[in-house]
Chains A and B, each alone.
Chain A
């Protein structure tokens, strides 16, 4: 089966291919809004963060927040995209109570960021490239509250005017897994750059998902746009449902209508919101209150040189310099905090061994604790200390797991745990020989069987010896000595 075929889903009339593109709205991490000085932080009392501009009082004028422009450019550079030194703010006109101006200030024909790309890290360790069409700056709208009164709606304008980056992808994704990987990777990059916190629960990142289906190799089908999906899981569920729905419509002799749909996460279904006929005529035109945005090439270059190492570069370095597998590297770079933790542990130590410990034991214990990395009892220094004890043969890798569990439990460092519990590995050959003698004496029949050619029993003797030493015997020494003694 080719890579493409793996993506096909089966309908009554044969295989179908899903085509997915995404528009992600990412809220810029900025103290102030895009065109006003009001605070843009989450969770304030309704209408506590509204300036005269946000409320569209008569005579108010927008003034661009330079910090937000810088974050958009940083993000564009992080997406390896073209930065447009000349871009224009347009008005997108429509009436809605939570849109006080009666228009949203956005960028239409000339966005600040042009074409770029994003590399997906698939769970099997493979990579895939998705094209970025553009990134533009725009204002968020406010929020309508329908549950405060039986017969009236209330409006909260705290979000009104908050700076968003709309990041538009090419229709390059072919299954829900890729769409999920796209969102995760985009979120990772935004977090590395610090331009968006990526908190989908708080609405700092929302996705509009365009889905269509077609016969493999055929022309593109009619697409539906699923609006405002707010988690990776919901995006994947929505795509699965929507693709199946469209196939059923077509195979049932119908036609997919181009429309905007909503995902009902409770029921796991998408529902029609408005059809193409009802689509707004937004009457875009350049906002006469704002001058075109003109950027200095040198300023952009300065931002470029100040970018942190991004996940793709970090992953490549982990593979090339530290000898990690693509899968391990991808897991570690998915969050900057994880990558930083890993690098602190791996500094001056074996990269591969450290990666195994961070990914398996550390992440396992962290998840179980329910704590954040910053609050968790295991620091890079403590984990590094444990790995040092493995490296210098003080403890075996197996014993180290027990030590780690005690470290998590007590918060003590590895050396202390080992000393207190007497878990230091026994490398004294005399002591090991004594244990082996005991084991052989207690199992004289097995010794005889071994000596008569039953080699497989060697493992049994290793196990018994380790057990009798309380797991503290050095496994290599045990092997050597056992071989000699059993040979007679």
Chain B
């Protein structure tokens, strides 16, 4: 059987593997070929084809032995923020030059335990700070979708490489991390599905930290079912992460097709912003109608502190980042640029090792934590955060899920916003509040704009109720029937 990985979902591939239509090695070979043909997308920082084939061989053996895991033989790629044993891990930063971990992140270890196969490490914004993948030291990943005149577009960020690899068709799934929208926004901009689980659902151990109280890893896939499959494999309690929650991981596919009849879906009025993109608004209304048609009750709700979320986020996240990134000091690993004394070595190393956006956030974070400013910024932002969480808590007393757009715009041309940090930060306006509240959120492709670019809808769920969230998402997915794919211009 001829294999085109771009035609396969994880679920479909698993069925073929189980039937013996092809082996994991054949599938992996096809994925590697497609990956190598997709170099113009610059979605990979490190390719690991030999490792992939060895893992695929082991997967085939386990399947033959009747010991197949949940993702046995499925080629996926890993955001280069996850530490992978014996494989270069960069966080897309110059400062981690040559860093090869001696350990494997819990989330990826869980995936390998379930039989997934690693194609390589994916491009991202440096230290996951960015919404376009343009802050990567390794150059921007490129969106598989192109503009009407063939313009190169950003894939979104920070998990831009992840979204591009899945949208381009060679990775059947990818890991992402989401601190303020870094899974959902690139998923929306590349026409794929991405879920940020509840904070504490997936272990953060071994993932390079950006903002510890907001970071959460999750899967990025072609569809909702695949997201459910991959999340189940990734998630679970880990005693090595004190913020990871000890709760059983359900089979998220079990009730996926149960529909939304009897569920109440909230539409938050504060997300309808002045000057909102008309196409985005229309899609949101369409999503609402789909849910009504599927039997859900759709109600208007209020999340009154929404408009403070982005400002508070840009205090909390940089504050934590300024501290988390202090360990990159040139002393123990990664880049060291010598100086005449210790202070100069620090300055040279961190000056050369961190890009402009990372430096900007370290400076903002250092400032808001400084004596005399702490209460005005950090303490106040934490209060806002509490209020945002309360907004959601109250809303979830009335509704089972909340529907919003994922991003205020479709994919934009490379370079068009990279000089305007505020414009870039606004990309996360719909996704940031969910991180601030620690809730699960999913983005799924729901339509194309006039330029033929994908647009996403976001659903927000109750804490640790990813099962219901995925079930609602599946209902919207069925109604949207999104089949569009980028033309594979990069391999022509």
Chain B min CB distance to A139 (Å):
14
Contact of A58 among B89, B241, B331 (CB under 8 A): B89
Chain A 83-102 per-residue mask, 1 if CB under 8 angstroms from chain B, else 0: 00000000101010100111
Complex Cα spacing A91 to B319, Å: 11
B247 interface contact, C-beta 8 A: no
Q: A289 contacts which chain B residues (CB < 8 A)?
A: 209, 212, 242-243
Complex Cα spacing A232 to B346, Å: 37
A218 interface contact, C-beta 8 A: no
Complex Cα spacing A56 to B333, Å: 10
B197 interface contact, C-beta 8 A: no
B323 touches A63 (CB 8 A): no
Q: A441 contacts which chain B residues (CB < 8 A)?
A: none
Chain A 56-81 per-residue mask, 1 if CB under 8 angstroms from chain B, else 0: 11111111100000000000000000
Given the known inter-chain contacts A58-B99, A58-B101, please indicate yes or no for A63 contacting B331, CB distance below 8 A.
no
Q: A103 contacts which chain B residues (CB < 8 A)?
A: 323, 326
A290 interface contact, C-beta 8 A: yes
A288 interface contact, C-beta 8 A: yes
B346 touches A95 (CB 8 A): yes
Given the known inter-chain contacts A60-B205, A283-B369, A288-B211, please indicate yes or no for A55 contacting B332, CB distance below 8 A.
yes
Closest to A283 in B: B369
CB contacts under 8 Å to A, within B297-328, are: 319-320, 322-323, 325-327
A448 interface contact, C-beta 8 A: no
Complex Cα spacing A289 to B243, Å: 7
B276 interface contact, C-beta 8 A: no
Complex Cα spacing A96 to B226, Å: 46
Q: A64 contacts which chain B residues (CB < 8 A)?
A: 242
A100 touches B213 (CB 8 A): no
A155 interface contact, C-beta 8 A: yes
Residue among B205, B211, B243, B331 facing the most chain A CB atoms (10 A cut-off): B331
Complex Cα spacing A1 to B320, Å: 58
B243 touches A59 (CB 8 A): no
CB contacts under 8 Å to B, within A126-185, are: 153, 155
A281 touches B101 (CB 8 A): no
Q: B371 contacts which chain A residues (CB < 8 A)?
A: 281, 283
Q: A61 contacts which chain B residues (CB < 8 A)?
A: 204-205, 240-242
A291 interface contact, C-beta 8 A: yes
B96 touches A155 (CB 8 A): no
Given the known inter-chain contacts A101-B326, A283-B370, please indicate yes or no for A59 contacting B332, CB distance below 8 A.
no
B112 interface contact, C-beta 8 A: no
A285 interface contact, C-beta 8 A: yes
CB contacts under 8 Å to B, within A17-67, are: 52, 55-64
Chain A 257-292 per-residue mask, 1 if CB under 8 angstroms from chain B, else 0: 000000000000000000000000101110011110
Number of residues from B at the complex interface, CB < 8 A:
43
Q: A285 contacts which chain B residues (CB < 8 A)?
A: 319, 323, 369, 374, 378
A56 touches B332 (CB 8 A): yes
B327 touches A101 (CB 8 A): yes
CB contacts under 8 Å to B, within A274-314, are: 281, 283-285, 288-291
Chain B min CB distance to A449 (Å):
89
Closest to A52 in B: B103
B319 touches A59 (CB 8 A): no
Given the known inter-chain contacts A288-B213, A289-B243, please indicate yes or no for A93 contacting B333, CB distance below 8 A.
no
B331 touches A59 (CB 8 A): no
CB contacts under 8 Å to A, within B38-91, are: 82-83, 89, 91
Given the known inter-chain contacts A93-B369, A97-B331, please indicate yes or no for A291 contacting B323, CB distance below 8 A.
no
Interface size class of A (residues with CB under 8 A): 20 to 34
Closest to B371 in A: A281
Closest to B320 in A: A288
Given the known inter-chain contacts A100-B331, A285-B378, please indicate yes or no for A58 contacting B366, CB distance below 8 A.
no
Given the known inter-chain contacts A56-B332, A57-B101, please indicate yes or no for A102 contacting B323, CB distance below 8 A.
yes
B320 touches A93 (CB 8 A): no
A283 touches B323 (CB 8 A): yes
Chain B min CB distance to A486 (Å):
88
Chain B min CB distance to A433 (Å):
86
Chain A min CB distance to B116 (Å):
19
Chain A 379-408 per-residue mask, 1 if CB under 8 angstroms from chain B, else 0: 000000000000000000000000000000
Chain B min CB distance to A274 (Å):
14
Chain B min CB distance to A26 (Å):
25
B329 interface contact, C-beta 8 A: yes
Chain A min CB distance to B315 (Å):
11
Closest to B369 in A: A283
Chain B min CB distance to A266 (Å):
26
Q: A55 contacts which chain B residues (CB < 8 A)?
A: 332
CB contacts under 8 Å to A, within B105-134, are: 105
Closest to A58 in B: B208
Complex Cα spacing A291 to B374, Å: 21
Complex Cα spacing A59 to B107, Å: 12
Closest to A35 in B: B242
Chain A min CB distance to B410 (Å):
33
Chain B min CB distance to A292 (Å):
11
Complex Cα spacing A351 to B243, Å: 57
Given the known inter-chain contacts A100-B331, A102-B329, A288-B211, please indicate yes or no for A93 contacting B323, CB distance below 8 A.
yes
B327 touches A100 (CB 8 A): yes
Chain B 342-380 per-residue mask, 1 if CB under 8 angstroms from chain A, else 0: 100010000000000000000000100111001000100
Q: B366 contacts which chain A residues (CB < 8 A)?
A: 283
Q: B83 contacts which chain A residues (CB < 8 A)?
A: 57-59
Chain B min CB distance to A89 (Å):
10
Q: B326 contacts which chain A residues (CB < 8 A)?
A: 93, 95, 101-103
A155 touches B323 (CB 8 A): no
Chain A min CB distance to B469 (Å):
24
Q: A95 contacts which chain B residues (CB < 8 A)?
A: 326, 329, 346
Q: A91 contacts which chain B residues (CB < 8 A)?
A: 323
Complex Cα spacing A59 to B89, Å: 11
Chain B min CB distance to A382 (Å):
52
Chain A min CB distance to B317 (Å):
10
Chain A 455-488 per-residue mask, 1 if CB under 8 angstroms from chain B, else 0: 0000000000000000000000000000000000
Query: Can you name 20 A-B residue pairings with CB atoms under 8 Å?
Result: A55-B332, A58-B89, A59-B82, A59-B101, A59-B105, A59-B204, A59-B207, A59-B208, A61-B204, A95-B326, A95-B346, A97-B329, A101-B326, A102-B327, A281-B371, A283-B323, A284-B369, A285-B319, A288-B211, A288-B320
Q: Which residues of A contact B (CB under 8 A)?
A: 52, 55-64, 91, 93, 95, 97, 100-103, 153, 155, 281, 283-285, 288-291
Q: Beyond the given A58-B209, A289-B212, please list 20 additional residue pairs across the A-B interface where CB-CB is below 8 A.
A: A55-B332, A57-B101, A58-B83, A58-B327, A59-B83, A59-B101, A59-B105, A60-B205, A91-B323, A101-B326, A101-B327, A102-B329, A103-B326, A281-B371, A283-B366, A283-B374, A284-B369, A288-B211, A289-B242, A289-B243
- Minimum-distance CB pairs A-B, first 4: A102-B326, A288-B213, A283-B369, A288-B212
